[in-house]
């Protein structure tokens, strides 16, 4: 496929825009993780302090509510992190399509300078291309990568927070019941 100079320039500008967007989504993904971890940490800290200071049924009820807040915040965090990670992956797939249209996924024949290297390689690294070829559509590629290693750990972290919140809720309920004896 031969592109006119204006088309190539327009596609390259779109590639640059997509690359910036990809970095923004990645940064947003990481900031969301940090923000939700901060909120959950604050609630857990307040709960732990509260467990040592609580004396009445009202205090234990507040502890139970705090544990429920941890479960709820961690649930919202999982959805939010998945959402931004999916946008990040969709931007990568768009960028991959542009790389292909621009001819960067195949070797560009050239005469390397003396002591030059890799004249038969594409501009895009082969490992990226192999990952793309493994799926028939960009949607399939995004779906396969949505829960990969880069996004698995924050999901695991927030699920663990939910589990901890459930344990904290049981402890608070137990203490609440004990306060009525």
What pLDDT, in 10s, does the model give residues 72-82? 999 999 999 99
137 in any annotated domain = yes
Q: Indicate the range of 51-65, 92-106, 161-175 predicted with least confidence.
A: 92-106
What would the two tokens of residue 41 be?
A: 């940490």
Please tell me the distance from the alpha carbon of residue 67 to that of residue 47, in angstroms, as a whole number.
8
**Total Cβ atoms within 10 A of residue 161:** 24
Domain range for 162: 5-105+121-179
What pLDDT, in 10s, does the model give residues 130-167? 888 888 999 998 988 887 777 899 999 999 999 999 99
Q: Which of 121, 107, 170 is nearest to 178 (CA)?
A: 170
116 in any annotated domain = no
Please tell me the distance from the alpha carbon of residue 139 to that of residue 93, in angstroms, as a whole number.
8
Number of structural domains in the chain? 1
What would the two tokens of residue 108 be?
A: 């560009």
CA distance readout (Å), 94 to 68, 142, 169: 40, 11, 44
112 in any annotated domain = no
Q: What is the pLDDT of residue 1?
A: 58
113 in any annotated domain = no
């Amino acid at each position: 496929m031969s592109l006119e100079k204006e088309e190539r320039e327009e596609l390259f500008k779109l590639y640059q825009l997509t690359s910036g967007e990809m970095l923004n989504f990645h940064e947003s993904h990481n900031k969301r993780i940090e923000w939700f971890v901060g909120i959950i940490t604050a609630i857990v800290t307040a709960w732990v302090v509260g467990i040592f200071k609580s004396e009445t049924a009202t205090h234990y009820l507040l502890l139970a509510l705090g544990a429920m807040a941890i479960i709820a915040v961690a649930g919202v965090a999982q959805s939010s992190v998945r959402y931004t990670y999916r946008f990040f992956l969709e931007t990568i797939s768009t960028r991959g399509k542009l790389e292909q249209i621009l001819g960067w996924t195949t070797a560009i024949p050239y005469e390397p300078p003396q002591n030059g290297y890799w004249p038969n390689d594409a501009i895009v690294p082969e490992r990226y291309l192999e990952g793309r070829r493994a799926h028939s559509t960009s949607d399939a590629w995004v779906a396969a990568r949505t829960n990969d290693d880069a996004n698995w750990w924050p999901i695991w972290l927030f699920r663990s927070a939910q589990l901890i919140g459930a344990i904290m809720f049981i402890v608070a309920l137990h203490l609440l019941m004990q306060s009525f004896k």
